[in-house]
Amino acid sequence: MEVENLKTSDIPELVELFHKAYAANEALGIHFKAATITAQELEKIRRALPIFVTKREQKIVSTVSIRLPWSSNPSPFALPHLGWLATDPSQSGQGLAKELVKRVTDDFVIKELRAPALTLGTAAEHPWLVRAYQKMGFSYLGERQLFSDHKTIYLIRIFDGQALRLVKDNELLKRLKEIGYEL
């Protein structure tokens, strides 16, 4: 399966995938913006940050974006931040999201950006997302109440501890100390 950047022509299809994939979260009372995003909003986001997709038979089956500290929708820390991971519900359970995260992490975050770590945020109240991310190598970093319907848990996957110590982000460094990461 080829990983590619989202094209403008694929936006309507990705909007539909987001709405389907995030419907289960909505049913849990957890509201992520992807559940209601419009094509116009997604196009604006596409211009600001990388959005990756995988396709089967010319149809998008999985997607993830990477928020960057310097983008108009910056990551919460001075590191790349994984976001809006979704798989077409008809294709779930096949490891597509896990494979996409692995490939984007290896080929883009580590090789191209040379980032020392990758963060993400998800709903503490979700019954399985935190465990799924931990199985992908992410560790607890902290939490914040950003939204009325859920608490955000931040997770981090560290690739280069020495380089991470050089990141100029006091909040990140404070959180790393709080979880016992040796700085």
Q: Coil, strand, or helix at residue 75? A: coil
Low-confidence ranges of the chain (pLDDT < 50): none
β-sheet with 81-87: strand ranges across: 3-5, 51-56, 59-67, 81-87, 117-123, 152-158, 139-144
For residue 50, what is the enclosing H or E element?
none
Which residue matches tokens 């290896």?
106
Whose tokens are 């995988």? That residue is 54
Name every residue whose Cβ is closer than 8 Å to that of residue 23 and which is 6 or more positions away in sequence. 35, 89
pLDDT digits (tens, 9 = 90+) for 90-122: 999 999 999 999 999 999 999 999 999 999 999
Domain boundary assignment for the chain = 3-178
pTM, entire model = 0.91
Residue 140: per-residue pLDDT = 94
How far is it, in rounded angstroms, from Cα 96 to Cα 81?
19
Q: Which residues contact 13 (CB under 8 A, 6 or more apart)?
A: 59, 60
Which H/E stretch holds residue 133? Answer: helix 129-135
Locus of tokens 């990551």:
75
Q: Are 68 and 76 in contact (CB under 8 A)?
A: no
User: Which pLDDT belongs to residue 143?
Assistant: 86
pLDDT recorded at residue 112: 97
Q: Which fold has domain 3-178?
A: Aminopeptidase (3.40.630)
- Is the CB of residue 119 less than 8 Å from the CB of residue 152? no
